């Protein structure tokens, strides 16, 4: 009788809610490869295990999960950020539980790493993998197989006999020791997007960020440590992708790609020398790093195929930037706009509204909110008026993560943090409940976000110089703002 292969199933939920205009439409062609779970799979012995990877963006993801569950399934893994990914992750975990309650369900990703103990308390979670998961998850599988003791696995949190167990953190000295991401665990052509070309592949060349922004989960998870693949490793990877998958473009998912200028130069020169002819873009970078790059680096970026940057401007109000400890200044953002205009590189600017500026003083918070709104929309207007590039804007609601003084300040002043994994489902970048805002202010933010979403489609760069004027007029009618 044939012995059924030991199966490990990894599920990557959709990050965007289905009801979000344009963004939430489910499609692998829009979301791209599920890098979070593919990265975790890289530490597994593919000769020993039958590893299946499923994306929540697939049209029939529920049916696919049910079809791959088997008696040989020894673990089901779920990666999740805060918000809708928890909703979809729990939906799938319920299916796994109903199929076989003895299959261990392991959660990892940003949210479980930030709230390991709270996450582990959920009935739909057996183990939490914190931080880097490649080696931790592999060791956890070995513990399930009785090859090693569970006590020896670092980087995990779980319940044992009514007690919460949190093993020491997993230490990763440098990420070049991590194995290659096994892209072939999914049908790569079906996950190629058209964001930067006809065949765009997602890639991660670094993790973490050295900045200390008080709204960012990176600070909590990676402790301000930035670790990057070498330029040679990056060049080797993307050269292989072009040969193997016939890609024409690469989208980087790094939190801050541009920390080290020398590495950027080496990658750009390598792309040119190897004649890769690949467009690369939607690269996340901080303005305070980019404005200090020399002209040679900018020229290399352009020549090597840099198409677009993703830059967190965050706010046009200095008080808000100071409150969230944002290092990039308004002057940095305007200088970056000049540089990208000069070198013909497009920019996606992200902003947020609803920062808790002075929540201990009701009247002062009202005035601060007006200044935040007016300053941010004024900066948006200036950016779009001063560029010849087809730049665009993304707007979010401010969201809170623990681990910094701003989170503590808000909880001390009446903000009630969600108390369970399930309660964090609605804490999204569009629907986070911010009690320091009035209903009118909250509705105003919602209206502005919807206007921006309609005017600047998620996966399309277009000319949006008129969008800020429409937004400003809308806000003026809502809050009686004056130019």
State the pLDDT at residue 215: 84
Determine the pLDDT at residue 181.
Answer: 96
pLDDT per residue, tens digit, the chain (483 aa), is 455 679 999 999 998 776 555 454 556 677 899 999 999 999 999 999 999 999 999 989 999 999 999 999 999 999 999 989 999 999 999 999 999 999 999 999 999 999 999 999 999 999 999 998 999 999 999 999 999 999 999 999 999 878 999 999 998 878 898 889 999 999 999 999 999 999 999 999 999 999 988 888 888 888 889 999 999 999 999 999 999 999 999 999 999 999 999 999 999 999 999 999 999 999 999 999 999 999 999 999 999 999 999 999 999 999 999 999 999 999 999 999 999 999 999 999 999 999 999 998 999 999 999 999 999 999 988 888 887 776 788 888 998 877 677 888 888 888 888 899 999 988 877 777 888 999 999 999 988 888 877 665 444 444 444 555 555 555 555 555 434
The answer to whether the CB of 268 falls within 8 A of the CB of 234 is no
| 399 contacts 427 by C-beta, under 8 angstroms | yes
User: What is the 3-state secondary structure of 99-116?
Assistant: HCCCCCEEEECHHHHHCH
Domains along the chain with CATH numbers: 7-166 (3.40.50.2300), 184-479 (3.20.20.70)
Residue 317 contacts residue 280 (beta carbons within 8 Å): no
Q: What is the DSSP string of 326-374?
A: --S-HHHHHHHHHHHHHHT-EEEEEEEE---SSTTSHHHHHHHHHHHHH
Task: Kindly report the three-state secondary structure assignment for every residue of 237-258.
Answer: HHHHHHHHHCCCEEEECCCCCC
Beta bridge partners of 283: 309
Angle formed by the axes of helices 467-479 and 362-385, nearest 10°: 160
Q: Which helix (H) or strand (E) holds 285?
A: strand 283-285
**Rg (Cα) of the chain, in Å, rounded?**
23
- Closest to 153 measured CA to CA, from 179, 127, 190, 191: 127
- Helical spans, DSSP H, in 199-294: 217-222, 231-245, 261-273, 287-290
Helices (H), 55-206: 61-68, 84-99, 110-114, 116-120, 134-144, 188-191
pLDDT at 93: 98
pLDDT at 456: 56
What token pair was written down for 351?
A: 């902003």
Question: What is the reported pTM?
Answer: 0.91
């Amino acid at each position: 009788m044939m012995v059924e292969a030991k199966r490990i199933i990894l599920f990557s939920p959709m990050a965007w809610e289905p009801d979000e205009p344009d963004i939430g439409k489910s499609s692998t062609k829009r979301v791209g490869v599920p890098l979070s779970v593919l990265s975790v799979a890289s530490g597994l012995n593919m000769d020993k295990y039958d590893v299946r990877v499923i994306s929540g963006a697939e049209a029939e993801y529920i049916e696919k999960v049910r079809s791959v569950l088997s008696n040989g399934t020894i673990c089901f893994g779920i990666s999740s950020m805060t918000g809708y990914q928890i909703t979809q992750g729990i939906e799938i975990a319920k299916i796994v539980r109903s199929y076989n309650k003895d299959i261990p369900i392991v959660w990892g990703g940003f949210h479980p790493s930030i709230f390991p103990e709270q996450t582990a308390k959920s009935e739909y979670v057996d183990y939490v993998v914190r931080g880097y998961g490649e080696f931790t998850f592999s060791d956890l599988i070995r513990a399930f197989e009785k090859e090693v003791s569970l006590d020896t696995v670092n980087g995990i949190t779980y319940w044992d006999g009514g007690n919460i167990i949190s093993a020491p953190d997993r230490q990763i000295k440098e990420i070049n020791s991590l194995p290659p991401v096994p892209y072939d665990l999914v049908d790569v052509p079906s996950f190629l997007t058209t964001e930067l070309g006809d065949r765009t592949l997602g890639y991660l060349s670094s993790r973490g960020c050295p900045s200390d922004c008080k709204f960012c989960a990176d600070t909590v998870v990676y402790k301000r440590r930035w670790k990057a693949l070498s330029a040679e490793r990056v060049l080797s990877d993307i050269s292989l992708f072009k040969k193997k998958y016939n890609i024409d473009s690469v989208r980087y998912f790094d939190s801050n790609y541009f920390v080290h200028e020398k590495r950027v130069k080496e990658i750009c020169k390598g792309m040119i020398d190897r004649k890769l002819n690949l467009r690369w873009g939607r690269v996340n970078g901080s303005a305070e790093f980019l404005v200090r790059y020399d002209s040679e680096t900018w020229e290399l970026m352009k020549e090597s195929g840099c198409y677009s940057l993703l830059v967190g401007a965050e706010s046009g109000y200095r008080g808000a930037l100071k409150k969230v400890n944002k290092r990039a200044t308004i002057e940095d953002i305007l200088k970056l706009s000049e540089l990208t205009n000069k070198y013909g590189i497009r920019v996606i600017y992200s902003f947020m509204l609803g920062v808790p500026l002075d929540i201990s003083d009701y009247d002062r918070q009202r005035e601060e909110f007006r200044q935040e709104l007016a300053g941010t929309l004024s900066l948006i207007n200036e950016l779009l008026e001063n560029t010849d590039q087809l730049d665009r804007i993304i707007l979010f609601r401010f969201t809170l993560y623990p681990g910094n003084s701003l989170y503590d300040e808000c909880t001390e002043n009446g903000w009630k943090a969600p108390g369970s994994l399930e309660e964090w489902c609605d804490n999204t970048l569009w629907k986070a409940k911010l009690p320091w805002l009035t209903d009118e202010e909250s509705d105003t933010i919602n209206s502005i976000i919807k206007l921006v979403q309609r005017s600047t489609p998620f996966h399309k760069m277009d000319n949006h110089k008129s969008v800020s004027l429409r937004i400003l007029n809308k806000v003026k009618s809502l809050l009686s703002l004056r130019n």
